[in-house]
Amino acid sequence: METPNLRLGVIGAGFVGRAFVQLLTDPSRQVALVDGANATLEIVGVAVRDTTTPREGIDPSLLVDDPLALAAREDVDILVELAGGTDPTRSWIETALHRGASVVTANKALMAECGTELARLAHDNGADLLYEASVAGGIPIIRALRTSLAGEKINRVLGIVNGTTNFILSQMTSEGRDYAEALAEAQALGYAEADPTADVEAFDAAAKVQILSSLAIGTALHGEAISREGIAKVRAVDVDFARRAGYVIKLIGVVERVGEHGLSRRTHPALIPLEHPLAAVHGAMNAVFVEGDKSGPLMWLGQGAGGEPTATAVMGDVLHAARNRASGRHDVPFSVDDRLTNVDEGDLTSVYYLSLDVLDEPGVLAQVAGVFGRHEVSIQSMEQSGFGSEARLSFLTHEARARDVSSTLDELDQLASVDSIGACIRVIDGGGA
């Protein structure tokens, strides 16, 4: 049987696009690639904004400046979209899918916004829509959820899915930096953008949580906002308290099944016990920790960003799409479970770390403790440290309802003896590992 030839159109030639083209054209990899694809792979065009700028490792004759035309080319079997953004990117992907070409994308924002609709479009046209690189860069978590864990009931997913914030928090932990210093360092090293909002306010992590949730639990991807809290309020004193208490602070994305059909999806900083495998995820690394009903805890760790790691995820998808083409099939889209409903976040329970700056006067602690008690938030441990005329009170609570903690803090904020509320950060349990 002759080996079929498949033609690829690539949109975007940034770090990931260049690394992907270089991987695909590397002579020493051709045997493995043909073997993995059951086909020879040929790039017929790379769409870029400016075709006159030379791109290292890309044959200049391949550069084109019209991504829509590339997506529409009848001889492109697989469109590889690495440009990012939602508009007009969506129209390029739709154009390719409409005519039955498969699409491989790293676009988390677009998948979070309209992944269910795009997946349906792919299916209706007998094509694949694959997006391994959209979550946690080079870590093959998407395929694992779609295949190896397809028959498993997943109860919770905890992800460190944003390398920028993990780098910042790691520097605060290991070097004792405060947030502003660590952010500046991340910017200097190229880990954080000049405008770091998407990372530090957890927009990026939230999109990834939605994609993980769709595969782990079966939620639709149609741009629903989820509960989102970033790391800008995490202070050096919080990191320090956490370490003394046996924890490390991480920004986590959470997908959690609550009861039979309840669901919580959220991002927030959390205290992770030092013995939990996620606590050992340092620097810009990413990890996804999955708690399956029967599989028990599973964790994937790797580089969440970077041109080459992300390009290997794109390549895995391209080989998969190619094998499917060669055998005239395509993956079925993940199924959406219509019975799932978002639970009220106020009803969720957690252990909390709370920090208050109060006047260092007799009776203040009793007053504060009284407020906790009235709202049924019970205290597990307390630490008091004085500075001048003030004192800092740091509490770990027992398991408490979010709405009760919230009303506790509201009432504390009214007290004349409470100067400020410094921290309210959830604590993650166990880990089973």
Amino acid at 80: V
| DSSP letters for 336-381 | P-TT-EEPPGGG-EEEEEEEEEEE--TTHHHHHHHHHHHTT--EEE
Phi, psi (deg, nearest 5) at residue 37:
-95, -15
Minimum CB separation from a second copy for residue 180, in Å?
A: 26
| CA proximity to 399, closest of 361, 360, 429, 368 | 429
Residue written as tokens 């093959």?
Answer: 140
Cα–Cα distance measured from residue 351 to residue 266, given in angstroms and rounded to the nearest whole number: 16
Cα–Cα distance measured from residue 176 to residue 179, given in angstroms and rounded to the nearest whole number: 10
Minimum CB separation from a second copy for residue 22, in Å?
A: 9
Compare residues 195 and 260 and give the one whose CB is closer to a second copy. Answer: 260
Minimum CB separation from a second copy for residue 299, in Å?
A: 4
Residue 208: active-site member = yes
Q: Judge whether 352 and 427 are in contact, CB under 8 Å.
A: yes
| 230: helix, strand or coil | coil
Minimum CB separation from a second copy for residue 23, in Å?
A: 6
Active-site annotation holder among 208, 233, 250, 294: 208
Minimum CB separation from a second copy for residue 333, in Å?
A: 10
Compare residues 218 and 223 and give the one whose CB is closer to a second copy. Answer: 218
Cα–Cα distance measured from residue 102 to residue 277, given in angstroms and rounded to the nearest whole number: 36
Compare residues 145 and 400 and give the one whose CB is closer to a second copy. Answer: 145
- 366: tokens are 């009793």
Minimum CB separation from a second copy for residue 52, in Å?
A: 28
Minimum CB separation from a second copy for residue 242, in Å?
A: 17
Compare residues 138 and 422 and give the one whose CB is closer to a second copy. Answer: 138
Compare residues 136 and 226 and give the one whose CB is closer to a second copy. Answer: 136
Q: Judge whether 158 and 242 are in contact, CB under 8 Å.
A: no
Compare residues 262 and 277 and give the one whose CB is closer to a second copy. Answer: 277
Q: Give me the torsion for CA of 87, 93, 95, 97, rounded to 10°.
A: -150
- The Cβ of residue 101 has, within 10 Å, a number of other Cβ atoms equal to 27
Burial 104-135 (b: 16+ CB within 10 A, else e): bbbbbbbbbbbbbebbebbbebebbbbbbbbb
- 363: tokens are 């009776």
Compare residues 4 and 283 and give the one whose CB is closer to a second copy. Answer: 283
Residue 146, C-beta contacts closer than 8 angstroms, at least 6 positions apart: 215, 331, 334
The residues that touch a second copy, with contacts defined as CB under 8 A, are 19, 23, 28-29, 32-33, 35-38, 132, 138-140, 143-144, 147-153, 275, 277, 279-283, 285, 292, 294-303, 306, 308-309, 311-313, 315-316, 318-320, 327, 329, 332, 335, 433
* Residues acting as catalytic residues: 208
